[in-house]
Amino acid sequence: MIPGPQSGTEPIVAVAIPALNEAGKIGRVLDKLPKDGRFEAIVVDDGSTDGTGEEARAHGAAVVVRHAARTGVGAAIRDGWRVGRERRRPFLALLSGDDQHDPSELVAALDELLASGADYVQGSRWIRGGRVVGATGGRGPGTRVYSIAFSVLAGRHVTDATNGFRIFRSSLLDDPRIDLDQSWLTSYDLEPYLLFKSIRGGYRVIEHPVTVVYHATEGYTKMRGLRDWWRLFRPALLLRTGVKR
């Protein structure tokens, strides 16, 4: 871990930002982080070969966690949240490292969580106030269909279950019914696993409008084909049927 600059105010939200070869983007993400002492950035450099970690440190990440080799986005997120808990932050958050989310929207999302007494805020591009910037490359319909299937399995309507933008209370991870350290949660499975478990566990989950930006000239996503879509889909199915816990 590489310590970065700290503000005089103790943060309350640790924002995990997984990043794999995001040099040129990770700096933009960190530059857009709200100038609000409640937030700190924990970048997890998942085996990058392009200087992503060095760029993150130069742009003000509070902590940079370096993986010597690629471990998977789920493992990277898990490590970022683990550091946030070690730093005793009462809230954990997630942003993508590829500049797909608008970090400034963390402020309104946190304010809504606090005002409503919710436990978990899930970002949504598809509710009123949310938006998509740039061409989706056909992914828009896929995210909607996925969200319908997820909602059926979870027993709760969720408009944008694939959206990585989220804030939740760190105490959720103290629940023995939620186990992020399982070996099958190292890839895209981890995020829908936590959302499903939070809903089924009786926690108050709300959605908040956010922006999703597709950078057509820089690539849409690191997801590749049906295998990664299956990794998104299977947590709700396996948990609902009792195959996984």
In which residue are the tokens 């450099």 written?
Answer: 45
Sorting pLDDT into bands at 50, 70 and 90, what band is 6?
very low
How far is Cα 143 from Cα 150, in angstroms, rounded to an integer?
A: 10
Can you tell me the mean pLDDT for 185-210? 97
Over pLDDT 90: what percentage of the chain? 84
CATH, domain 2-137+163-176+201-223, list 3.90.550.10, 3.90.1170.10, 2.40.50.140, 3.90.180.10: 3.90.550.10
The yes-or-no verdict on residue 67 having pLDDT over 90 is yes
In which residue are the tokens 């310590």 written?
Answer: 3
Domain boundaries, the chain: 2-137+163-176+201-223
How far is Cα 54 from Cα 19, in angstroms, rounded to an integer?
A: 12
The secondary structure of 51-75 as a DSSP string is SHHHHHHHTT-SEEEEESS---HHH
User: What is the tens place of the pLDDT at every residue in 116-163?
Assistant: 999 999 999 999 999 999 876 667 788 999 999 999 999 999 999 999
How far is Cα 167 from Cα 165, in angstroms, rounded to an integer?
A: 7
Enter the tokens of residue 137.
Answer: 């490359």
Give the β-pairing of 63-67 and 131-133. Answer: unpaired
| Model confidence, pTM | 0.91
What is the maximal distance between C-alpha atoms in the chain? 48
Greater confidence, 111 or 229? 111
pLDDT at residue 230, rounded to an integer: 82
Say how many C-beta atoms besides its own lie within 10 A of residue 125's C-beta: 23
Q: Spell out where 153-215 has E strands.
A: 166-169, 205-209, 211-213
Output the CA angle 159-84-205, nearest 5 degrees.
25
Sorting pLDDT into bands at 50, 70 and 90, what band is 240?
very high
